[in-house]
Amino acid sequence: MRIYFMGVCGTAMGNAALLARAAGHEVLGADTGVYPPMSTVLAEAGITLHEGYDPVRLQKLAPDLVVIGNAMSRGNPEVEWLLDTRALPFTSLPALLADFVLKGRKNIVVAGTHGKTTTTALTAYLLRENGRDPGYLIGGVPQDPPTGNHLGKGDAPFVIEGDEYDSAFFDKRSKFIHYAPHIAVLNNLEFDHADIFRDLDDVKRTFLHLTRIVPRNGWIVMNGDDDNLRALGPTPWTRVVRVGTGEGCDVRIMDFVEQPEGVQFYLTWRGAPWRTVKWNLPGLYNARNAAMAAAAAGLALHPDNPVQLDLGALARFRGVKRRQEILTDSPALTVIEDFGHHPTALAETLRSLRARYPGRVIHAAFEPRSNTSRTRIMQTAFMRSLALADEVYLGAIANAHKLKPEERFDADGLMQFLESQGVHGCTAETNAALLEKMVANTRSPAKGRRQLVVFFTNGSFDGIIAKYVAAMKG
């Protein structure tokens, strides 16, 4: 089959295109930003790339199927031509995965407000380290396993990141509804994506829909410490395994310790010993990601006794790019990049950094870029989270001109709150101007104290992260 991907250079679309190519299909696609590294990877796989969107060109290419990416919307010339003419069949990315990749597989679908990418990577990694060849699709750039996508063997599980965001402009169901879970991993549940969901109850509704399609011979692996997940109620149609720190959890995280040398914790399975884990990933949140992944992989391979899964490889797991990724580390300065864009994620990361780097002056730079974070919907929670730092740098609000002033993230309000908490804050009209302030403020640390700078963004921060690292090295 000849398959055409609209928005092919996006992380999810690109990895899906590579899976389709690996499955033997002829793959081509278009994007407005055809540039490395994704364009290089796609071209090396034999995928033809086109710059921009052109309905005349699409008509001449005449693919058997068009995959319309989540970023596409009405007004796109190729979308409008497809709708006007109905000349070619089209589908969404999740529907394509359901029909061409996931059908017939025992799928492990990793869902949750936070930690999806790391937990998906961990699950695939543990399966591989235990001698299997799973398929997987990871919504980021993992260091382990070595790629973000792999078709795997048909008789092995397929691990996929289950996003609750909508599937396409013509399919407003959450992506994970398409993924036919045999094991559904519910890492946590909070309100997010205010452009899609009305409130927390609306998010709970879509997660409940996911639980309802888990078969009776499957499992729900659930964060047993999460009140919002518990509020979903009983799921008598399938089996549930709870993971957490509480006494009622099947997989229990015990004796968690984080210090400069690293992290150590102990896992038990229904009261019996499983494994002491020593590794370098920060925070209790990553320990929970590991426990969720261990439960899912263990149940997939050894449903009667998951502790047969060997967890020794966790000590070697290197994590995912842009998830608390250390960019430079010197005696005077450590710089970290994190994909954080939700107040809970920011708070957990900052608490972890306090434990891992005691005595450091922590500078937190935050770019309000997501459709939720650039509004005032979570303003109070963001203020409390950022107040956990010593210095705060607020980046330019993405596409601020598209928001009404009363809807826009309140930068002045944040600065006033930080001042009341004894935290220094500053902002700037552009991220380039913010970079200048950051370099000036951190070049000469007060009283010689060691410094840690963490950048929180789900975007590029207009390239200032790499520029900051270069300037401070200089």
Residue range 209-223, pLDDT digits in tens: 999 999 999 999 999
The mean of the pLDDT values for the chain is 94
Instruction: Categorize the per-residue pLDDT at 473 as very low, low, confident or very high, splitting at 50, 70 and 90.
Output: confident
How far is the first Cα of the chain from the last one, in angstroms, to the nearest whole number? 52
pLDDT over 90 (residue 371):
no
Question: Mean of the pLDDT values across residues 56-75?
Answer: 96
Cα separation, 385 vs 387, in Å, equals 5
Cα separation, 474 vs 465, in Å, equals 14
Question: Mean of the pLDDT values across residues 321-338?
Answer: 90
Cα separation, 441 vs 294, in Å, equals 43
pTM of the entire structure?
0.90
Answer for the pair 457, 369: CB distance below 8 angstroms, yes or no: yes
pLDDT over 70 (residue 446):
no
Q: Which residue has the higher pLDDT, 111 or 473?
A: 111
pLDDT over 90 (residue 324):
no
pLDDT over 80 (residue 440):
yes
Q: Return the ∠ at Cα 173 (arms to 204 and 29), rounded to 5°.
A: 135
pLDDT over 80 (residue 35):
no
Instruction: Categorize the per-residue pLDDT at 108 as very low, low, confident or very high, splitting at 50, 70 and 90.
Output: very high
Question: Mean of the pLDDT values across residues 89-97?
Answer: 97
Two tokens, residue 132? 């299997």
In total, the chain counts a number of residues equal to: 474
Instruction: Categorize the per-residue pLDDT at 343 as very low, low, confident or very high, splitting at 50, 70 and 90.
Output: very high
Question: Mean of the pLDDT values across residues 387-415?
Answer: 93
Answer for the pair 377, 200: CB distance below 8 angstroms, yes or no: no
Residue 150, judged by CB atoms within 10 A of its CB (0-12, 13-18, 19+), counts as buried
The CATH number of the structural domain formed by 325-473 is 3.90.190.20
SS3 content of the chain, % helix, strand, coil (to 5): 35, 25, 40
The pLDDT value recorded for residue 194 is: 82
Q: Residues 6 or more apart from 466 whose CB is under 8 A from it?
A: none
Two tokens, residue 318? 């290197």
| Architecture of the domain delimited by 104-316 | 3-Layer(aba) Sandwich (3.40)
The pLDDT value recorded for residue 444 is: 72
The pLDDT value recorded for residue 313 is: 96
Q: Scanning the structure block, which residue is given the tokens 């949750």? A: 112
Domain positions in the chain are 2-92, 104-316, 325-473
The pLDDT value recorded for residue 333 is: 92
Class of domain 2-92: alpha beta
Answer for the pair 96, 89: CB distance below 8 angstroms, yes or no: no
Residue 441, judged by CB atoms within 10 A of its CB (0-12, 13-18, 19+), counts as middle
pLDDT over 70 (residue 52):
yes
- Of the chain, the percentage scoring pLDDT greater than 90 comes to 85
pLDDT over 80 (residue 360):
yes
Cα separation, 20 vs 101, in Å, equals 8
The answer to which of 303-317, 337-351, 408-422, 432-446 has the lowest mean pLDDT is: 432-446
The pLDDT value recorded for residue 447 is: 58
pLDDT over 90 (residue 331):
no
Q: Is 473 helix (H, G, I), strand (E, B) or coil?
A: helix
Answer for the pair 143, 117: CB distance below 8 angstroms, yes or no: no
The pLDDT value recorded for residue 445 is: 64
Cα separation, 248 vs 432, in Å, equals 50
Question: Mean of the pLDDT values across residues 171-189?
Answer: 97
Single-letter code of the amino acid located at 290: A
